[in-house]
Amino acid sequence: MDLILIVIAVLVVLALAGGLWLYVGRRQGDLPEDLSAHKPTSIEDLFPQEGQEGQAAEEVGEREEPGAEPEARPAATTATLESPESIPGRMQRLRARLAGAGGFGKAVLSVLSRGDLTEADWEEIEDTLLTSDLGIEVTTQLMEELRTQAKVLDTSDPQAIRAVLRSELLALVDPDLDRSVNLERPAAAEGAEIAGTPAAAILMVGVNGTGKTTTCGKLARVLVAQDKSVVMGAADTFRAAAAEQLSTWGQRVGVEVVRSEREGADPASVAFDAVRTAAEQEADAVVVDTAGRLQNKAGLMDELGKIKRVMEKVAPVGEVLLVLDATTGQNGMRQAQVFAEAVGITGIVLTKLDGTAKGGIVVTVQKELGVPVKLVGLGEGADDLAPFDPEGFVDALLG
Ligand SMILES: Nc1nc2c(ncn2[C@@H]2O[C@H](COP(=O)(O)OP(=O)(O)OP(=O)(O)O)[C@@H](O)[C@H]2O)c(=O)[nH]1
């Protein structure tokens, strides 16, 4: 009898152990699936095959509905990632777009090609230059050079004239400036209490509506396409929609967005969380979006200065990009000056260059602010951001 009881007890124990093993086994089997949904493990995961882009756009569209999940998290959890356009394809398309916008170079060239120029022709050239946002000083300098060269050369030779104008414009744009975006990962600040290695930090500043958030998303997309791991920080806490917009970009490009759920939260604290998260994740770069709608210069200085200082508790910020709307001309320049004073800028992103024929702003902005245009925005599309290429720009202006 005892023996029968012992056998029954052993069978019960074995049955229980088997059940437990099956349960644990199933949980462990789930794990890789969950993880792969959170973090793409290979470059192929990041770039779906052709034909999936439409699906991605639809899913992102769904996420933009009011009441959509507001929490920041790695985008791959909810959206199929879009496939970025190749860099050469992007450059070619953008050059064509810029040339199509019709820069001032084309207009000047057409007058110069008329041959023996009258005083009225020269005035026409001067007017064109002045209305192209080149500014008086640069226009005067360029006019003198063109008049001198026109005397020296046979002005009826369009090729010779084109060459002169090309070299003058190129000199103004200055091909020797370093236009690379600093992606070098800095050493941690002294006493920084962080896990991991700091990421290269890029701080995006500028007036509201210039395209900061869009540029953060486009830039993250370019970096991801270059196989870099990126974190974005939504330090534009002025309005919840800005953080939501950045989160949508995060979902599109497969990048985690650090944000606060509270509208009006301290932007410096969100920026700090972003750089700390990036260091913990050993990310290559962290891109931080800011608000630009402060009432006065002192407030702006305080806020941007604080954001940068707090980020630098982790590591130095290697790149502060000022986003400028090319269509705002001289007005935009005045605002740019204020930002440049508030926080030392290292480069300019000139957006909406597709919406203006006034290419002269490139020259003015560099001259006034003393930093190079590094990136240009040429449309609202996800791939409409390109490195600024002086030669390509001048050639596009001249048609
Ligand atoms: N045509 C064109 N539109 C652009 C470009 N860059 C941004 N935009 C558009 O400009 C508008 C404003 O862009 P945002 O990125 O929201 O600007 P922001 O500076 O972040 O604005 P706030 O969040 O209000 O501070 C959007 O409709 C963008 O699609 C560009 O290069 N060309």
In-domain check, residue 62 = no
Ligand 1 centroid to 210 CA: how many Å?
Answer: 5
Q: Distance, CA 357 to ligand 1 centroid (Å)?
A: 18
Please tell me if the CB atom of residue 244 comes closer than 6 angstroms to any atom of ligand 1. no
Report which of 224, 241, 296, 262 is spatially closest to residue 74, judged by C-alpha positions: 224
Strands 373-377 and 385-387: what pairing? antiparallel
What is the domain-level CATH number for residue 151? 1.20.120.140
| 225 and 280 fall within a common domain | yes
| Residue minimizing CA distance to atom 7 of ligand 1 | 211
Domain ranges, residue 235: 200-345
- The count of domains in the chain is 2
Annotated binding-site residue? 292:
yes
Mean pLDDT per 10-residue segment, the chain (399 residues): 57 47 34 27 28 32 31 42 67 69 76 82 90 87 87 72 86 93 94 90 93 96 92 90 93 94 88 97 97 74 91 96 88 83 92 81 89 92 89 82
| Best of 204, 218, 380, 385 for a ligand 1 pocket test (most atoms within 8 Å of beta carbon) | 380
How does DSSP classify residue 156?
T
Give the pLDDT confidence score for residue 134 in this predicted structure.
84
- 293 annotated as a binding-site residue: yes
Ligand 1 center to 171 CA (angstroms):
30
Q: How far apart are CA 319 and CA 341, in angstroms?
A: 15
Q: Is 214 close to ligand 1, i.e. is its CB under 6 Å away?
A: yes
Domain for residue 37, yes or no? no
Identify the residue whose C-alpha is closest to ligand 1 atom 25: 208
Distance of CA 365 from the midpoint of ligand 1 (Å) = 19
Buried b (16+ CB within 10 A) or exposed e, 179-198: bebbeebbebeeeeebeebb
168 and 239 both lie in a single domain: no
Q: Within its chain, how far is the Cα of 14 from the centroid? A: 60
Of 173, 192, 225, which residue constitutes the final position of a domain? Answer: 173
Which H helix or E strand runs over 152?
A: helix 136-152
Indicate whether 227 belongs to any domain: yes
Tokens of 385: 């951001």
pLDDT of res. 262: 81
Residue 148 within any structural domain of the chain: yes
The answer to whether 214 is a known ligand-binding residue is: no
Residue partners of 148: CB distance under 8 A and separation at least 6 = none
Please, are residues 164 and 153 in contact by the beta-carbon 8 Å criterion?
yes
Residue 389 in domain: no
Any binding-site annotation on 294?
Answer: no
- 319 and 230 share a domain? yes
Residue 2 annotated as part of some ligand binding site: no
> CA torsion angle for 276, 279, 281, 285 (degrees, to 10)?
110
Report how far ligand 1's centroid is from the alpha carbon of 383 (Å): 14
C-beta of 69 in contact with ligand 1 (< 6 A): no
Q: Which atom of ligand 1 is nearest to the CA of 323?
A: 19
Do 144 and 269 reside in the same domain of the chain?
no
Strands (E), 134-252: 200-205, 230-235
- 132 and 221 part of one domain: no
Decide which of 302, 320, 345 is a domain's last residue. Answer: 345
Closest-CA residue to 74 (of 49, 41, 48, 30): 41
Judge whether 113 lies within some domain.
Answer: yes
Ligand 1 atom index nearest CA of 351: 31
Instruction: Give the list of residues 6+ apart from residue 346 with CB closer than 8 angstroms, or none.
Output: 182, 318, 319, 320, 321, 371
Q: Which atom of ligand 1 is nearest to the CA of 289?
A: 20
**According to the annotation, is 20 in a ligand binding site?**
no
Residue 267 falls inside a structural domain: yes
Do 240 and 286 reside in the same domain of the chain?
Answer: yes
210 labelled as ligand-binding? yes
Give the pair of three-digit tokens for residue 56: 């991605």
Q: Which atom of ligand 1 is nearest to the CA of 292?
A: 25
**Cα end-to-end distance, the chain, whole Å:** 102
Q: How far is the CA of 24 from the centre of ligand 1 (A)?
A: 50
Q: Is position 225 within any domain?
A: yes
Residues 169, 204, single domain; the answer is no
Closest listed residue to residue 250, CA positions, set 224, 275, 268: 224
Closest among 164, 207, 162, 129 to 363, alpha carbons compared: 129
